[in-house]
Amino acid sequence: MIKTGRQLGTFLRKIVKSDAWQAVQQTSRDIRYLPNKLMRESGLDEEVKELEKIGKEVEASARDVERTVKEMESTVKKEMDAAVKDMDVTVR
């Protein structure tokens, strides 16, 4: 059993150290990073960053608009409540 384990370890070490295995590993890394490399080389990564920046600006603008609308709603509600109260006093 020990002899078999040693032989198996030696066999696996030879495989891992072989040029063919190194080529397979390098090819695997190249394929994994190929989309990023292509984006960098074509300049798309800068376009993606610019789009992300624009998206953040749009989100900030949307929050500002939402805040403004809420303030306007609050102001209109207060004015409506005051008008109703004035009408109630006038009717009596």
| Statement to judge: residues 4 and 38 lie in one domain | yes
Mean pLDDT of 24-42: 87
Q: Does 73 fall in a domain?
A: yes
Q: Does 24 fall in a domain?
A: yes
Would the pTM count as exceeding 0.75? Answer: no
Residues 50-67 have pLDDT tens digits of 889 999 999 999 999 999
Q: Kindly state the DSSP code that residue 43 receives in the 8-state scheme.
A: T
| Predicted confidence (pLDDT) at residue 90 exceeds the cutoff of 70 | no
| Statement to judge: residues 89 and 65 lie in one domain | yes
| Statement to judge: residues 3 and 30 lie in one domain | yes
| Statement to judge: residues 38 and 60 lie in one domain | no
| Statement to judge: residues 38 and 56 lie in one domain | no
Q: Where are the alpha helices (DSSP H) in 1-43?
A: 2-17, 19-42
pLDDT at residue 86 in the model: 78
Mean pLDDT of 23-33: 92
Q: Does 47 fall in a domain?
A: no
Count of structural domains, the chain: 2
Q: What is the mean pLDDT of the chain?
A: 88
- What is the span of the domain harbouring residue 80? 52-92
